[in-house]
Amino acid sequence: MSDAAAFDLVIRNADIATAADRFTADIGVRDGRIAALGSGLARGVSEIDAGGRLVTPGGVDSHCHLDQDTGDDSVMADDFLSGTVSAACGGTTTVIPFACQQKGKTLREAIDTYHQRADTRAVIDYAFHLIVTDPTAHVLERELPQLVEEGYTSFKIYMTYDALKLNDRQIIELLALARVHGAMVMIHAENADCIAWLTEALLEEGITAPIGHALSRPMLAEREATHRAISLAQLVDTPVLIVHVSGREAIEQIRWAQGHGLAVYAETCPHYLLLTEDMLEDGPRGYQCICSPPPRDEGNRQAVWDGLVNGTFQVLSSDHAPFRFEGPHGKQVAGENPRFDQVPNGIPGLETRMALLMSEGVMNGRIDIHAFVALTATNAAKLYGLYPRKGSIAIGGDADLVIWDTDRAFTLTNDALHHNVDYTPYEGWQMKAWPALTLSRGDVVWDGVQPSGTRGRGEFLPALRPQPAQPHRPLNPRIDTHRVLPRFAFPAVYRG
Ligand code: URP
Ligand code: ZN
Ligand code: ZN
């Protein structure tokens, strides 16, 4: 920094919106952090005139899959370079992808592998969730406690997918461990046996087209698993976060739990707000829109909007799961016109998540700008232990910022995006806004035309133990937690 300048960077005349406040100010940045907010700030080495435009915290996308092993010949199209470049162009400055344990291997091996993939490639900051697929005694007793200590303070549990799913007993053990060590548990709630039985029945009937995917994963299978996940969490009194909730019946379970004072948090994604299952009957688009849970009908789509408006959902993530449509390693890994159950699950959305919610949520008058910030940045930062460094615009926090162009009406096309996927489910969508500038720790990583973050500049963020993951009350007083959970070392703070 030059002697005469007070800041490395000053952003002038910003219309700042956080989850709580709205005010006009200059933003002074020093060493990548916000050092001052006020009017008439002293000079910076560089200056950006926001010109009264809306400025929000950079997005925290707390559910995205990058360079994740799939278990078959399909390959994710985005690695930590293309994925984070694309995120930055869409206003996201922090991602929390997954380090997925391979059955028979340790969590430490997963962490080492995903760091190797991320550390020299990411252009924005990142943390990791663990995916626990093989909760052996070694994993539970040794690895998870140590990894939580090192900053991996959230993990995802699957109730479906043969290679990933856990049984109820395993889920209980993990919830108990999370309770003791203060980690946040994310749950993919779909009933695997219902899906397997229906899939077999549909195939026997000769139904192989993409719509079979939706028929094999009905709302009922999600509702049942959501109910069970909540019940298991209640048994152990452990907060949980239900991910990618797709419709009304699951929302009803979550609202019941929240109404009964249980710490049950919920996430949804743009595709459940904007896509419907009839798109699975639309030729190639059908394959492109296969994700789990599937997009539902119009009534469910409205119910998800209602849940966003009434506060049932705390988080809007992309669940970016990038597979190309063309080529031998994407949606058609099993050949042309594959059976619905042989299509890799997932759709891309890292780059479009924030602008879609700005356009369809804020600018269409469904939610206010504070809810937008909470859903796209602040709540995820809090739920996953990255707050207050990430998720707001406050002195001491990282200068992760988005200057918005809210006068920009345009038609979205995949050519304009920076991911490595050859389609977007939102092709032709009428957008009302897009980030004009994205800053990560004070560096411009997207200038409205070009991505500009250098490969490897993204930093790993060791996460704190999230405050919302702390249990509400002692376990059942008749249960001696030290006897029931003898394997776990109880930090004093959690002794009931
Ligand atoms: O279809 C999806 N959501 N694929 C990604 C994996 C997951 O379960 O989130
Ligand atoms: Zn999932
Ligand atoms: Zn996912």
Give the model confidence (pLDDT) of 50-94 as tens digits: 999 999 999 999 999 999 999 899 999 999 999 999 999 999 999
Judge whether 441 and 125 are in contact, CB under 8 Å. yes
Question: Is the CB of 190 within 6 Å of ligand 1?
Answer: no
Q: Is the CB of 65 under 6 A from ligand 1?
A: yes
Q: Which phi and psi angles does 14 have, rounded to 5°?
A: -100, 135
Ligand 1 pocket mutation, candidates 74, 187, 245, 292, criterion most atoms within 8 A of CB: 292
> In degrees rounded to 5, what are phi and psi of residue 176?
-65, -40
Domain ranges, ordered by start, for the chain: 59-389
Please tell me if the CB atom of residue 346 comes closer than 6 angstroms to any atom of ligand 1: yes
Whether 185 contacts 174, CB under 8 Å? yes
> CB of 124 closer than 6 A to ligand 1?
no
DSSP string, 121-145: T-SSEE--EEE-S---HHIIIIIHH
CA 305 – ligand 1 centroid, Å: 20
Alpha carbons 139 and 363: distance in angstroms, whole number: 47
- Residue whose token pair is 């209640």: 234
Strands 410-411 and 430-431: antiparallel
Tokens of 300: 């469910």
Q: Give the closest ligand to the alpha carbon of residue 213.
A: 1
What is the rounded CA–CA span in Å between residue 475 and residue 485?
A: 11
Assess contact for 95 and 64: CB atoms under 8 A.
yes
Domain 59-389: CATH architecture, name and number where available: Alpha-Beta Barrel (3.20)
Name the residue of 65, 130, 320, 341 to mutate for ligand 1: max ligand atoms within 8 A of Cβ. 65
DSSP β-bridge partners for residue 446:
438, 451
- Distance between Cα 292 and ligand 2 center (Å): 7
**80 class by beta-carbon count within 10 Å (0-12 exposed, 13-18 middle, 19+ buried):** buried
Q: What angle do CA 261, 264, 266 make, to 5 degrees?
A: 135
Encoded amino acid at 340, one letter = F
| DSSP, res 282 | S
Residue with tokens 């907060």: 239
Which ligand has the nearest atom to the CA of 322? 1
Distance CA 378, CA 390 (A): 7
Give me the amino acid identity at 224.
E
Series of mean pLDDT values for 10-residue runs along the chain (496 residues): 83 98 98 98 98 99 98 96 99 99 96 98 98 95 96 98 96 94 97 98 98 98 98 95 98 97 98 98 95 98 98 98 97 96 98 98 98 98 98 98 97 98 98 98 98 98 97 67 49 37
- Per-residue model confidence as pLDDT tens digits over 290-324: 999 999 999 999 999 999 999 999 999 999 999 99
CA–CA dist 467, 460 (Å, integer): 20
- Ligand 3: centre distance to CA 346 (Å): 7
- Which numbered atom of ligand 1 lies nearest the CA of 63? 9
Sign for the CA dihedral angle at 171, 68, 402, 459 comes to positive
Structure tokens at 84: 């984070």
| Ligand 1 and 345: CB distance under 6 A | yes
Residues, CB within 5 angstroms of ligand 3 (ion): 319
Atom of ligand 1 nearest to the CA of 291: 1
pLDDT of 463 reads 98
Report the C-alpha gap between 196 and 156 in whole angstroms: 21
